[in-house]
Amino acid sequence: MSKHRQRRNTIESKGNYCSINKFPKTSNVSYKYTWGVQTIPQSDHEMHFLSTLLTLCAAIPFSFAHRVGHNKYLQVDVFHLPEKDIVYQNASLRYSPSAFTLVHTAKEAVLVDAPTVAEDGAHLADWIATTIPGKKLKYIYITHAHADHFNAFPQIQQKFPEAQVVTTQKVLQHMPAQYGYPLWDIFWVGLFPSLKKADLSLVHALPPSVKFTIKSAKGKKHEFRAIEVGEGDTEDSTVLHVPDIDLIVGGDVVYGHCYQYLAENPTLDLRKQWIASLDKIKSLKPKVVVPSHMQASEGYGAEHLEQTQAYIEGWESLLAKAKSWEELESLAKKRWPDRIGSYILRYTAQTFFNATFGE
């Protein structure tokens, strides 16, 4: 989170609706995506029908939940938290939106990541209870050691006390740094003054296989694999792979249309390592990809992988031109006018010129 590399340890739009990437009839997974009340007709040869949920959550204005895919046994729902207004260096900016993925059978479920603030954790827990009534939330999987991906897990456990919080050994080792100085006191509490620390002793490392399973109603096991890709927007990042449904939950290795956090990738070598991580994900040939920071109106296709890489490569060209963080920020806004999350852009640009937190 600083100049010293301290760690913060194709849906195609068509008017009022979107259409998802088309998969061959031989796929084990069926998908369909709707926006508002309009549905895109799809050929039976190209995909099977899936009714898609778009829910306006009354508890959080402008939050959305999308049902993005299923097969005979597994279903995937994504909960979207909107941007947050924050104040940084006396400037009013916006913290990036976040997406939280729920994968479930008729019996059990896995949540990927948890929000930053307690209120959002409680709202997410309420949504989970509504989405999977009568089912057991078995795991909360943490993709990487950034507090905006784990800090509010206690609020989810309050509603689902049997849920185990799990991650890889390397991620678990990095998590306490988020609660040290200056990250906690200046960065996180500076942005969200009401924050309280979670009890990290409740987080458990996965076994060396970095795999876990949930069961369907008939006892069929479905495997979840933590893929330790390495570099993302922080070190020792992971993504979660669900082979049965060709799903990747990308954490902060894969981005949607939000400005990417590059403050922990100050060298060209680290940025190349991030691109190498994306190549590892591509080799898994996912059909559904959920970035953790994306806009609710986006789709969930594999194009996010190429777009994340293109952003990193584009950042290189902007760095070669910019003479100040202000110029770098301005160039990024011009190059990616459809991306959101102005705080992350500001902080990242400043990091490259040693200007964060009034430095």
266-313 pLDDT, tens digit per residue, is: 999 999 999 999 999 999 999 999 999 999 999 999 999 999 999 999
pLDDT at 38: 25
Confidence of residue 14 (pLDDT cuts 50, 70, 90): very low
Would 37 be classed as within a structural domain?
A: yes
Structural domain of 29 = 12-255+289-296
Model confidence pLDDT, tens digit, residues 191-219 = 999 999 999 999 999 999 999 999 998 89
Average pLDDT in the 313-333 region?
Answer: 98
pLDDT at 358: 52
Percent with pLDDT over 70 in the chain: 81
Positive or negative: CA dihedral 185, 190, 196, 198: negative
**CATH code (residue 25):** 3.60.15
Residue 57 Cα distances to 61, 79, 134, 311, angstroms: 7, 9, 20, 31
Would 281 be classed as within a structural domain?
A: no
Would 73 be classed as within a structural domain?
A: yes
Report residue 18 as tokens.
Answer: 């979107």
Domain count, the chain: 1
Confidence of residue 39 (pLDDT cuts 50, 70, 90): very low
Would 245 be classed as within a structural domain?
A: yes
Is the preceding peptide bond at 182 cis, omega within 30 degrees of 0? yes
Average pLDDT in the 100-127 region?
Answer: 98
Would 22 be classed as within a structural domain?
A: yes
